[in-house]
Amino acid sequence: MKNNTTAQNSPQNSNMLNSPSPPSSYCVALKLDEYEASSFSLKKYIKKVKESCKCDHQHIFYFFLKLFPVLEWLPRYSVKEKLLGDIISGILVGIVAIPQSISYALLASQDPIYGLYTNFFCPIIYFAMATSHHNCVGSFGVLCLMIGESVNRQLRLAGYESDTGAHVALNATSNGTLVCDKSCYAITVATTLSFLVGLYQILLGVFQLGFISVYLSEPLLSGFVTGSSLTILTSQMNLLLGLKIPRHDGIGSLVLTWVDIFRYIAKTNICDLVTSLVALVVIVPVKEINSYFRDKMKAPFPIELLVVIAATLLSHFFDFSNRYQSKICGTIPTGFKQPAVPDMTLLSNLAVDAIPIAIIGFAMTVSLAEIFGKKHGYPVRANQEMIAIGMGNLIPSFFYCFATSAALTKTLLKESTGCYTQLSGLISSVVLLLVLLWIAPLFYSLQNCILGVVTIVNLRGGLRKFADIPKMWRISKIDTVVWWVTMLSSSLISTELGLLVGVCFSLLCIIFRTQRPRATLLGKVNNCEIYEDQFTYKSINSIANIKIFRFDTSLYYANKDYFKSSLFQKTGANPSLVAILQQKAEAKAKANLAENESCINSKLNCLKIAKQRATKPSVDVPSPTVDMHTLIIDCGAMQFIDSVGLSVLKEVRQDYKKIGIQQDE
C-alpha cells in the first residue's frame, strides 16, 4: 500500500477523503485574484479620497444625510403609526430620568441642577445624529463615578478640600471678574472633561476607529460594570447612613471607604438611616415586580418618582433638616445659565482621565445600538454612533453638562414602552424642561439619602451578574477568569486601572488561547461523510491506518512546540523516537546477521557465540510499529501560518517521511 501524508485546508464538517481537489494552477490563479481584489492599492485609495472630497451638490447633500440621519427618517415618519408610542415612551423615560438626574449628579460630585441640564441637552443632539432608534442617552452610573473621581482629584490639586484652601482660591479670583467656589470649580472640571471626551469620540468616529471596541469583550465589560457598581454602592453608603466621611479616590478607595464607615458608624444619623431603609423596602419590591411583569405591563410603575415626591413632602413638613440635621438638596435654581467655554487650561490635567471615559462611553453606546438594531431589524453605523455620542458630549459641555452615554436601564424602558424613533428622546427632554423651568425648586427639602437609595437601586443589573458566574464557568472558564480579574481590579484598585488591567489580561488570554488551543483527532460519523472529534462524540468511527489531526487555531511561532507535541501525542507516534528505535532495531538485526555468518564459517566460534547468548540476558530491541500509513492535517481553523509555522510543517513532513509515512507528491 502506498504511504501518504496530506495537509488539507477544509472546514471541519466536510468530506475530507472523497472530495476531488482542483488543479493547482486553478488554485494559484484564484488566490492571486483574491489577493489583488483585497490588497491595498494606493491609487484606489487616492481615487476614493478624491471622490469623497468633491463639493458638488450631490456629495454635499449625501454628506449631511450621513452626518444627520434624522434628515433621512424624519420626512418618512408615520405620525399615525409611531407618534403615540414615541410620546408615551418619552414621557415615561422623562419621569424616570428626574430622580436619576439628581442622584447621578451627586455621584459625579456636582450640584443637582447640572444633572438635569445633562439629561436635557444630550438627547437633543443624539436625536439628530444617531442611527439607533432605541438608545437612551444620559447620565450613566459608571461614567458618573469616573467623572466624580476625576473632579475630586482636581479639587484637591486646586486646594478645595479644606476650608483654608477654598478661601485661598476665592481670594485669588476675587480681584478679577469671576469668583469661583468649590461647586463652580467642580462643574468647570466636569465640562472640560466632557469636552475632551466628546473630542476623543468624534476623532475615533471620523478616523473609523470603531474596531477598538472589539477589545472590550462582554465578560470584560460585565466585570467592569459589576466592579464599578460595588464602588458606587460603597460611595453612597455615607448618604444612606448620614455620615460625614472623606471621599477616597484612587487605589484602594473601596477598602478605605469601608474602613471610615465602620470608624464613624457610631455617628450614624438615625433619621437618614430609617428613611433609607423605608425607601429601599418600598422601591426594590416594586422594581422587581416591574421587571417580572414587563411583558404584561404597558408601562412600569414610576415608584422612584413617587418615593422622591413623598420623601420631599415629609422632609418639608416635618423639617428633617433642622430637627435631625438631615442633609438635603437645598436650592435648585430654575432656568438656564449663560453658555460658557470649558476651561482650556485644564486640558492637560484631564487628557488622560478622559480616555477611559470616552472608551467606556462609546463601547456602551455602540453595543446597545447594535443589540436593539439587530432585534428590530434596522442598520446601525458604529462610527456614526461614536460621532453622535461625541457631539452629544462636546456641544453640551458649553451648557454645563458632564459626559454621558447610552444607559441600559433607560434604554430597556424606552424599548419596552413602545418607542419607535429618537423622537421619544425629544419628549423626554420636554419633560425635563418642565422641571428645569418650574418644578426644580420644589425638591429643596429632598434628603440626600433618598438620592443615594435611587442610585443604589439602579445598580441591581450590575450586581446580578454574580448569579451568572456558574453558567459562565460552564461555558468558558477563561471568560470567567477575565470577569473576576476585571471586577476585582475595578473595585479594589481603581476604576481606570481596573479597566486597563482587564484589557491587558483579556489580551493575554487571547495569546494563551492561541498558544494552547484544542487539538483533536477526527473520525467519521456513522453513515455520512462528516468528520468530528473522536473523543467528544460516541458514534464516531476511526479510519483504519488513517489519522486526521485538527489544530483549532493559526499556526505561528508561539504555538509551534505545542502543535508538534499535540500531534505526536494524538497520533501516538513521535517520529524522532520511532526513528531511533528503528535504527536500534536495524543495528541489532545487522549484528545478529554478522554473528550468524561468522558462526557458519567456524564451528568453534559458533560454540563461543552460543555460550555468550546463553549467559547474557536478551536485549533484543523490538521493531516499532506505526498503526497508520496516512496522516491528514486539517488546517481549516488556521487563519494564517507564519514562516516559523511553515517550517514546522516542513519539519513534521520530513520526520514522518523518515519512519515510512510519506507524502504523495
pLDDT, tens digit, 9 for 90 and up, residues 197-243: 999 999 999 888 877 777 788 899 899 999 999 999 999 999 999 99
165: confidence class by pLDDT, cuts 50, 70, 90:
very low
664: confidence class by pLDDT, cuts 50, 70, 90:
very low
Lowest mean pLDDT among 73-82, 142-151, 476-485, 526-535: 526-535
63: confidence class by pLDDT, cuts 50, 70, 90:
confident
Distance separating the N- and C-terminal Cα atoms of the chain: 15
Is residue 163's pLDDT more than 50?
no
DSSP structure class, residue 3:
-
447: confidence class by pLDDT, cuts 50, 70, 90:
very high
338: confidence class by pLDDT, cuts 50, 70, 90:
very high
188: confidence class by pLDDT, cuts 50, 70, 90:
very high
The residue ranking higher by pLDDT, 145 or 180, is: 145
Give the strand pairing for 4-8 and 519-525. Answer: unpaired
pLDDT at 210: 74
Rounded CA separation 664/4 (Å):
5
The residue ranking higher by pLDDT, 404 or 164, is: 404
Question: What mean pLDDT is predicted for residues 501-509?
Answer: 91
The residue ranking higher by pLDDT, 641 or 12, is: 641
List Cβ neighbours of 391 (8 Å cut-off, separation of 6 or more).
125, 129, 198, 202
For residues 450 and 280, the answer to whether their CB atoms sit within 8 Å is no
Is residue 402's pLDDT more than 70?
yes
pLDDT at 56: 73
Q: Which residue has the cell 411583569?
A: 293
Rounded CA separation 419/433 (Å):
20
pLDDT at 434: 95
pLDDT, tens digit, 9 for 90 and up, residues 554-581: 888 888 888 888 888 887 777 767 666 6
Residue 662's Cβ-side half-sphere holds a number of Cα atoms within 13 Å equal to: 7
Rounded CA separation 340/355 (Å):
23
The residue ranking higher by pLDDT, 436 or 21, is: 436
pLDDT, tens digit, 9 for 90 and up, residues 4-45: 444 343 433 444 434 444 443 334 343 434 444 444 466 776
pLDDT at 262: 94
Which residues are 632's β-sheet partners?
6, 548
Q: Cα-atom radius of gyration of the chain, to the nearest Å? A: 35
pLDDT at 665: 37
Interaxial angle between packed helices 112-129 and 79-107, expressed in degrees from 0 to 180 and rounded to the nearest 10: 140
Is residue 408's pLDDT more than 80?
yes
622: confidence class by pLDDT, cuts 50, 70, 90:
low
161: confidence class by pLDDT, cuts 50, 70, 90:
low
pLDDT at 173: 41
- Of 408, 358, 405, nearest to 130 by C-alpha is 405
For residues 402 and 443, the answer to whether their CB atoms sit within 8 Å is no
pLDDT, tens digit, 9 for 90 and up, residues 349-380: 999 999 999 999 999 999 899 889 988 999 99
Question: What mean pLDDT is predicted for residues 512-533?
Answer: 78
Question: What mean pLDDT is predicted for residues 482-505?
Answer: 91
Positive or negative, the Cα torsion across 371, 375, 376, 379?
Answer: positive
637, containing H or E segment? none
Average pLDDT for the chain: 82
What type of residue sits at position 185? Answer: Y
- Of 184, 106, 116, nearest to 145 by C-alpha is 106
Q: In 10 A of CB 482, how many CB atoms?
A: 25
pLDDT, tens digit, 9 for 90 and up, residues 274-322: 999 999 999 999 999 988 887 787 778 889 899 999 999 999 999 999 9
pLDDT at 46: 73
pLDDT at 416: 83
Q: In 10 A of CB 172, how many CB atoms?
A: 13
Q: What percent of the chain has pLDDT over 90?
A: 47
pLDDT at 4: 42
Domain ranges of the chain: 81-511, 518-573+626-665, 580-623
The residue ranking higher by pLDDT, 585 or 454, is: 454
Strand, helix or coil for residue 122:
helix
Question: What mean pLDDT is predicted for residues 476-488?
Answer: 94
Pick 518-573+626-665's CATH classification: 3.30.420.10, 3.40.50.1000, 3.30.750.24, 3.30.2130.10. Answer: 3.30.750.24
pLDDT at 604: 52
Rounded CA separation 141/107 (Å):
8
Is residue 585's pLDDT more than 80?
no
